[in-house]
Amino acid sequence: MIVTRELRDVVKMGLRDIDYDIGPFVTLIDGPSFSFQWEERSKLLLGQVENADRVAISRTDKIESSEIEQIRGIIKIPDNKLLLLRRDNSSATEELVEQILSSDHED
């Protein structure tokens, strides 16, 4: 688990009544190296996907559509959580940034 310095400081202070919102949790999966990631870290990857607000598969322009479908089938990503990132189309990246920015204003 990756813990930011800010979170570590809050834990050290022991302030139990702090309201800390980290915003949406995004799991990034590198499309071309998915097979290696799956072999080496399948439990970690499944845990991250399960708890993610969004799952982004990056560099989809480097893999075939059948490989994307295989990744989706293996880790069972719901359509409403999935973003496909590619260099030649920034719409998914813009959608992700918009979701992150809009979560900052929800209360």
pLDDT tens-place values along the chain, 107 residues long:
455 677 677 666 665 656 656 667 888 899 999 999 999 999 988 888 888 888 999 999 999 999 999 999 998 888 888 888 888 877 767 777 776 667 654 54
| Spatial distance between the Cα atoms of 61 and 53, rounded to a whole number of angstroms | 23
| Residues 80 and 52 sit within 8 Å (Cβ to Cβ) | no
What's residue 105's pLDDT?
A: 46
CB atoms within 10 A of CB 37: 15
What's residue 79's pLDDT?
A: 83
59 conformational bin, left if phi > 0, alpha if psi -120 to 50, beta if neither:
left
| Spatial distance between the Cα atoms of 93 and 78, rounded to a whole number of angstroms | 18
Closest-CA residue to 57 (of 83, 77, 76, 23): 83
Q: pTM of the predicted model, to two decimals?
A: 0.67
